[in-house]
Structure 1
Amino acid sequence: MATSNHNAVAVADEKAMTGHQENLKLGDDPTQFAGRGQAATDQYGHALFEFDKKAESRLRWKMDFYLLPTVALLYLFCFIDRANIGNARLAGFDTDLNLTGNDYNVVLSVFYVSYIVFEIPCNLCCKWMGPGWFIPLSTVLFGAISIATAFVNTKAQACGVRFVLGIFEAGMLPGIAYYLSRWYRRSELAFRLALYVVMAPLAGAFGGLLASAILTLDGFGSLTTWRQIFGIEGIITCVLGLIAFGTMTDRPETARWLSPAEKDLAIARLKSERVATTEVLDKIDSKKLFRGIFSPVTLATSFIFLLNNITVQGLAFFAPTIVRTIYPNDSVVSQQLHTVPPYVVGAFFTLFFPFLSWRLDKRMPFFIAGPPMMMTGYIMFLASDDGMTRYGATFLIASGAFAFGALCNAHVSNNVVSDTARSAAIGTNVMFGNIGGLISTWSFLQFDAPDYHIGNGLNLATSSMCLILSGLLWAWMRWDNKKREETDVDQVLEGLSPLQVQDLDWRNPAFKWRP
């Protein structure tokens, strides 16, 4: 596509962008042009517009302020409502329900069955319904199920509510990641995902503090001991979900807090990174759907996330139990409080690695940096019987593990083109991750206590595999990008309609993998 240089003055901030394209005239607004069913890249994937950095920075700060606090708070209580069963166990959950042997592991596993099965369907439903409605509705529903958990009396009832909880929580992690991908550039996305994924380790810390505070109460209505944890936290979740119906903005076009020019800028800057894209939000298309699921980068990253999630979810469910083996003579409240510090340190790295990723516009270096920390922690668990050494190991494990949630979802999002493929890729990644979560429920078994050699050995193996697979994936992406650079783009795309070119998605030779 031939281009000629023309300076264009945008309406946004008087001078939001300058561009060059053959049918742009002096004074035209390239943001609006890019929003009228036109592509913002040429057929080689080069952006047609040069954006004003200050205007983009102002827009980014505005989006951060309006979007991130809501989704972060919702995900905090999503993770609390999933993992508070670990805190409830310390307060007598398994004793009151007469759980013996591996019954507790069965209750945990049932959650992941529905969580895995409904992962991709829920994310497609999120796209169809719109995140601004789907995410608050899901929050209210899983909050109600958390309340219901306070009234279970048998193993069968506990399994039933955990299964339904898995259905309603299935769309939250991928749904929020997909939602933010509607707003942020690829370099910005990992850090923004981290600002809500960090709620997972903070949920471990805050959940322990909140559970400790709740357990000091004599009762909450008819609820006592561990039942109070589910009841009170479930009510808080429902209230937050109802508030979110009024605070969440579905997409830039519907944002009342953006001016028309800012909306155009928000749309155009996304399209400028997506080769051959004429619309940011496309209709669900089966070809693009399968492009997202079966992208080599999606599948490889998803398997890495599966391995990593064995550690993340295992830590969430069993950290209180591990602490109890280290401090067996402490009170229940003291044991709950000892679970907090490792999560705080883990939360720091959950933000630190993606922040560096944003500044460097790279994700793969941090895929390599995290696993050695986890490996060191599990070697400490296996090699030492000292309680303080093992407690120190939990800090290293949390530091290396939790950042993968943001990095993996950003990585699969950045390595497809269309909105449909992005929704499917994120759903696939989280689905694989939750298979890892299911495995984690059987990694720390009762007969293996108190040293848990099987669980710690498994996690040492999975973190080692994360390191190996990350290195291989990075090498393959670099090799394939060089191969694409040698391809004659014009020859491959010759005779294809614009729609056919868009359906190629990452198979378009002009597309480059983004490590």
Structure 2
Amino acid sequence: MEDHTAVEEEDEDVDEEKYHDTPRRRGASVSTVQSYQLYTPDEERAVVRKFDRRLVIFVALLYMLSFLDRSNIGNAKIAGLQNDLNLDSSRYEWVLTAFYISYILFEWMSILWEIIPAHIYVTVIVLSWGIIASLQSVATSFAGLLVLRILLGIGEAGFTGIPFYLSFFFKREELALRTGLFISAAPLATSFASTLAYFIIKLGKYLPIASWRLLFLVEGFPSVLVAVYCWHIIPDSPSTAKYLTKREKKVARLRLRKQKDPKASHKLNFREVLATLSEPKSYLTAFMFFFTNMAFSSMPVFLPTIIHEMGHTVLISQALSAPPYLLSFIIVIFTAYLSDKLQNRSYFVIFHALLSASGYAFLALAGRMGLGAWWRYAGIYPAAIGFFSVITIIITWTINNQESESKQGTGFAMLQLIGQCGPLVGTRLYPENDAPFYVTGMAACAGAMVFVACLSVVLRVYLGRKNRAGQGEYGMLGDEGVGLVGSREKSEPFKYML
């Protein structure tokens, strides 16, 4: 396989020499030059469509299962888990926190995408979290559930590198939409969990098993089944995608040559790792992620309880938890599409961070003013739409503005390591003694999202100055959005995306 790939790369080099040298030496016309094009726009679009259909949709499904398995505990809580395992407010918070402690401690696993073949790596982690999530259905004590949540955090930590993995297949100007499709699986999962919980609770009345146990089993075991398919569907690189023809594999590699050095190895460059650790932009995006995660991690696991405290029954609370996330799913995809189309990240982060802050501020004020339950329920929509969209753009922005794969891997690991500490705060924002309005938690999330908007402004100004000063690292990046390889690459300053 390696020899075959090497031959293909040699052929590409020969083709490229023909393209660059022959027409220009002879002063050929445009039509003659086009006859030496390495690939056509139609060929490129065909490759991108295949990756969208066969890869992006599948990893979005995996993320949906992942988010479902971590967040359905909020639905299980009001379905009887809290009473059966004697979970008071403090114990429930520890069950949530335990997941994120192990999740944070194993964020370094994001770098393993550079080391372990993706089809092996993904299969193992999906299988592991599927088994552990299913075992939550047989938990008989607080201690047992706590251990399972710790193990679930380890299993899911390795999956956080998917946006980095997608950068192996897509150009930087294509990445926000694909990350949006991937991240949008989170609100879709939460919406699905709430809808499924509604039917499981109704069904549970006629079954000998507790509703919350059935919930964990029904929503956890599908991951075990899907893990089998990961081995065959997940490619390690464009060259190993089984659904591409030989020609399409070649196009898939060629189209990324403006942004990735074809001679670069997939091994970590420790000099670049250390350089990334000292760059201000790495910390700015990481802290933006930290504050956004305060809201992103807490709302899905507390929303059924928050709605229940508004005076609705358990069954209605499960049903009302779904619509805000379903609308978020649609808006996230639309936001990611616009961000790619306009080639801008900061404006979308600022807008959606302030939108989310307005939703949380309204919820806090509604509690103070004693407004009705339906007014407070309406405030959930902008809060959820905002933070889901911000998460999507921050992840993409981080990957866009690292100049090499080693820097991307390190920057993404920093984003996750620092950013995922946010849930340690977020999961403790809604104690039972703050019910039914949870004013403190709502106000804290509103303040956090305003701070995210401020940090986005700072990052935009910083990157803009670096672009104007020409201080970007020198790399393979050419003109953004150009589909054909039109000239031999020169060392050009890396242009940061604002």
The answer on 1:75 being equivalent to 2:63 is yes
Q: Say which of 187, 203, 213 aligns to 1:217.
A: 203
The residue that corresponds to 2:321 in the other structure is 339
Residue number in structure 2 paired with 1:38: none
> Residue 268 of structure 2 aligns to a residue in which SS?
coil
Deviation by residue 1:34-83 (Cα, 9 ceiling, x = unmatched): xxxxxxxxxxxxxxx99643322121111111102211111101000000
1:149-298 matches, within 5 Å, as 149-174=136-161, 176-218=162-204, 223-274=209-260, 277-279=261-263, 281-298=265-282
Aligned to 1:31: none
CA 1:219–1:451 in 2, change beyond 3 Å: closer, same or farther?
Answer: closer
CA contact (8 A) 1:280 1:418 kept: no
Q: Closer, same or farther in 2 for the Cα pair 1:289/1:220, shift >3 Å? A: farther
> Do 1:320 and 1:336's aligned partners in 2 also have CA atoms closer than 8 Å?
yes
Once the 2 structures are TM-superposed, how far is the Cα of residue 489 of structure 1 from its aligned partner?
Answer: 7.9
Displacement of 1:294 in angstroms is 4.1
1:314 to 298, 301, 306: 298
Distance 1:261 1:397, change over 3 A: same
**More divergent stretch after superposition (65-74 vs 428-437):** 428-437
Cα distance change, pair 250–24 in 1 and its aligned pair in 2 (3 A): farther
For residues 3-14 of structure 1, the aligned pairs below 5 Å read: none
Point out the more displaced range, 410-419 or 464-473.
410-419
Partner of 2:359: 377
User: How far has the Cα of 1:432 moved from its partner?
Assistant: 2.5
Moved more, 210-219 or 262-271: 210-219
Structure 1's 152 and 20: CA in aligned 2 closer, same or farther, altered over 3 A?
same
Q: Contact 2:114/2:266 (CA < 8 Å) preserved in 1?
A: no
Distance change (3 Å), C-alpha of 1:89 and 1:406: same
Give the one of 423, 426, 444 matched to 2:430.
Answer: 444
In structure 2, what is the equivalent of residue 353 of structure 1? Answer: 335
Aligned length, in residue pairs: 458
Contact 2:474 2:494 in 1 (8 A): no
The 8 Å contact of residues 293 and 421 in structure 1, kept in 2 or not, is answered as no
- Assess if the C-alpha contact under 8 Å between 1:150 and 1:223 holds in 2: no
RMSD, aligned α-carbons: 2.7
Match of 1:109 among 90, 97, 109: 97
Q: Provide structure 1 residue ranges, at least 5 long, that are not aligned to the other structure.
A: 1-10, 28-48, 491-507
- Mapped partners of 1:117, 1:100: distance in 2: 26
* Equivalent position of 1:54 in the other structure: 42
For 2:5, the equivalent position in structure 1 comes to none
Q: Secondary structure at the match of 1:444?
A: coil
CA shift for structure 1 position 488: 12
- In the TM superposition, residue 264 of structure 1 has moved relative to its aligned partner by 2.3
* Paired residue type of 1:157: G
Change (3 A) 1:253 1:293: farther
C-alpha distance in 2 between matches for 1:69 and 1:483:
40
1:341-420 alignment, distance < 5 Å:
341-384=323-366, 385=370, 386-420=372-406
Structure 2 gap ranges (5+):
1-10, 27-36, 476-490
Amino acid at match of 2:110: N
Q: Give secondary structure in 1 for the equivalent of 2:181.
A: helix
**What SS class does the counterpart of residue 442 from structure 1 fall into?**
coil
**Contact 1:220/1:228 (<8 A) preserved:** no
Among 114, 119, 137, which residue is 1:127 paired with?
114
Q: Distance in 2 between matches of 1:163 and 1:488?
A: 40
Q: Which amino acid in the other structure matches residue 72 of structure 1?
A: A
Q: Which amino acid aligns with 1:273?
A: Q
- 1:305 positional shift: 1.0
Q: Secondary structure at the match of 1:389?
A: helix
Select the structure that is richer in helix.
2
Q: Distance in 2 between matches of 1:488 and 1:403?
A: 29
Change (3 A) 1:393 1:160: same
Cα distance 1:456–1:269, how it changes in 2: closer, same or farther (>3 A)? Answer: same
